[in-house]
Structure 1
Amino acid sequence: MLRLVLELAPCLLGGFWLGRRFPTLPSRLAPPLLRWGMPLSLTGLLLKGGLPLSAIPMAGLIAGLTLGGLLLCRQAPGLLPTRSLQLGAMVGNTGYFGLPVAIALLPSEALGFSVIYDLIGTLITWSAGPLLLSPGKSSATAMTLLKTPVVQALLLALPLGLTPWGPLLGQWLWLPARIVLWMLLLLVGMRLGLVLQRIDQADQGERPSLTGALMIKLLLLPALMWLLSGLLQLPELMRQALVLQAAAPTAMSVLLLAEAADAQNRGGKETLPAARLVLWSSGAAALSLPLWFQLTAAM
């Protein structure tokens, strides 16, 4: 647990202060990190941990649980009154938050499982997300999905992993990959600082309750993943990786999609609930993730 605290706390807290102190810094730091840093980092992690091609069928479990959960959330407007809460209850910050947690708590062999979870979650977020938040608008194109860092990393790592130099490249890229993940955690902290500032300045009118979304995201979703992976008798390491990724806080991309939806639909009310859910789920996940790890390690 100490390793997890040392992995997350300095970057998140430092980024939180920087985001409040220098509001324009995240917008300058994010583009190069997403364009170059994250694909390089994910490629290094895949080459280091190995490409778990035999685990690809677990993608069906991830997609089925996420999409099935989204459909059920759409049927519960009383519990999740806005579309951004419905999406945020099911898709997690597996890239920026979940991968550092996996590195801190699990051996390198689990990294491939975690990256596959991030891949499926990214594809669902950027394809189903726009359709959910902006009905009638077109969803993401194939080119949009190809530009996501996790897809680029997979396309790069797959051929490299089949060469004799794959493991050596994984060793060389290990430290740069870790540095990029630390920078991404710093960026998460900065954005959380800006989110808090936005919430402080927002209209203090009626606020949809976050309880349902938080309970689904941090408790029900990882519990279902733990149960289903046990029923399917998945290997212990794969099971741990899936549960930890399922327990990751709400993805920052939900806030970005909510902002885009409100920009298209003037007077929309998706951004503030999404911002509050991202902020509160990120804080609560710092407490719930270690508990999920202890539970899966004890079973």
Structure 2
Amino acid sequence: MIQLYLQLGGGVFLGWVLGKVLPQQVPIWIGNFLFWFGVPISIIAFLRKADLSGGIWIAPVTAWVAILLGAGLAWLWLEKKNKGAEAPTTKGSFILAAMVGNTGYLGFPVTLALVGEKYFGWALFYDMLGSLLGAYGLGVVLAARFGKGIDGYGKLWQSIAINPALWSLGFGLIFRQIPIPTLAENTLTGLAWGALYLALTLIGMRLSQLRSWGKIKLAAVSLSIKMLLVPFVLGMGLWQLGIRDDALLTIVLEMGMPPAFATLVIAEVYDLDRELAVTALAVGSMGLLVTLPIWLLLFRF
């Protein structure tokens, strides 16, 4: 855990410092690089060492159960506990924060550090076939229901089709069967790890640019659903079904990730409650340092 916190905290803190001194265009450049090259390279590299046998299909299925459970619990809380008093735009951001996690930029390095490369395929399928489609599929539908700016609907759907991570998933599944020289393999792995550390730096840079910390109470409820209740309930359910060891821990870690940056993007496009989306994102990213030991104590056995 100390090593992981040094890696996570060091990368995010470096990004936070750089975000304060570098031009605001730099995170955009880094984000574009990671989107088009860094993350796809990481997917291709780590797929070569990932174990795709057994019940890997459980990962995306669990992802969708977690998404639907998080959204359902958030909606129930709003209706029963809060008497439906919040504005529709606030409801939309609240539900989004409870259902979609940062299972890529943050989830990948966390699971690789704690579990290793063998179960990277589980984390990858959880993200690609779960979180990504959940954010730009169900997330967009909910945003259109609670928000105003429906003009961005087609563009957000288009982002799924052109997402290079999805294309690299298909290529990586084929390429993993092709032997390459050891030097090339090591170089590819080094580039992949470098991209993940750069992703942590980017998270810190984006956090340094957040200015709103309002609506802490609503954010805390949404995060409790997303990062505590859903991972615990589904994690125990998977354990009862016979899922054990690192496969179980990988899925629980992915379920326990803080809200994805996609929730903020969707909130901006559909004119949802941006203040709540920003607060949930920032508080959740810091809260991860508290929740990670919980999942290790409960599910690493």
Q: CA deviation at 1:30?
A: 1.1
Residue 183 (structure 1) shift? 0.4
Letter in structure 2 aligned against 1:128: L
For 1:133 and 1:225, locate their aligned partners in 2 and report how far apart those are by CA, in whole Å: 25
Distance 1:215 1:67 in 2: 15
2:101–2:256 contact (8 Å) kept in structure 1: yes
Aligned to 1:5: 5
Q: For residues 131-142 of structure 1, what are the structure 2 equivalents within 5 Å? A: 131-135=141-145, 137=150, 138=153
- C-alpha contact (below 8 Å) 2:74/2:222 kept by paired residues: no
The alignment status of 1:290 with 2:286, answered yes or no, reads: no
Residue 210 of structure 1 pairs with residue 213 of structure 2: no
Residue 47 (structure 2) aligns with: 46
> Contact (CA 8 Å) 1:128, 1:139: kept in 2 or not?
no
Structure 2 residue aligned with 1:272: 275
Q: 1:127 to 1:53 in 2, by over 3 A?
A: farther
Contact 2:59 2:251 in 1 (8 A): no
Give the total of aligned pairs: 286
Other structure's SS at 1:95 match: coil
| Separation of aligned partners in 2, 1:111 and 1:194 | 31
Aligned pair in 2 of structure 1 residues 58, 181: CA closer, same or farther (>3 Å)?
closer
Identity, % of aligned positions = 26
Give, in angstroms, the shift of residue 175 of structure 1. Answer: 1.0
Please, what TM-score do these two structures have when normalized by structure 2? 0.86
Question: How many Å apart are 1:49 and its aligned residue?
Answer: 2.0
Give the deviation of 1:109 after TM superposition: 0.8
Runs of 4+ in 1 over 3 A off after TM superposition: 50-54, 78-81, 136-143, 162-172
* Contact 1:19/1:190, CA 8 A, preserved across alignment: yes
Tell me which of 207, 210, 226 is aligned to 1:192. Answer: 207
Q: 1:168 to 1:248 in 2, by over 3 A?
A: farther
Counterpart for residue 148 of structure 1: 163
How far, CA to CA, are the matches of 1:192 and 1:281 in structure 2? 11
SS in structure 2 at match of 1:163: coil
Q: 1:7·1:100 contact (CA, 8 Å) conserved in 2? A: no
1:25 equivalent in structure 2 = 26
**Contact 1:127–1:139 (8 Å) recurs in 2:** no
Separation in 1, partners of 2:111, 2:75: 30
- Superposition CA RMSD, Å: 2.5
1:231-276 per-residue CA deviation (whole Å, 9 max, x = no partner) reads 21113211010011111111111011101111xxxxxx51110000
Q: TM-score when scaled to structure 1?
A: 0.87
Closer, same or farther: CA 235–170 of 1 in aligned 2, 3 Å: farther
Query: What are structure 1's unaligned runs of at least 5 residues?
Result: 263-268
Residues 118-151 of structure 1 deviation map (CA, whole Å, 9 limit, x = unaligned): 1111111111111111228446776531323431
Q: Shift of the alpha carbon at 1:292?
A: 1.2
The match for 2:233 is 224
1:190-248 CA-partner distances (Å, limit 9, x unpaired): 001111xx217xxx7x7762221121122112102211211211132110100111111
Match in the other structure for 2:71: 70
Structure 1 residue 159 corresponds to structure 2 residue 174: yes
Cα 1:174–1:182 shift into 2, 3 Å: same
Closer/same/farther in 2, CA of residues 247 and 171 from structure 1, 3 Å limit: same
Answer yes or no: is the 8 Å Cα contact 1:199–1:276 preserved in 2: yes
Q: How big is each residue's C-alpha offset from its partner over 1:23-59, in whole Å with a ceiling of 9 and x where there is no partner?
A: 3321222112111111111111111224347412442
Q: 1:69 deviation in Å?
A: 2.8
Larger mean Cα displacement after TM superposition, 54-63 or 31-40: 54-63
1:162 alignment partner, SS class: coil
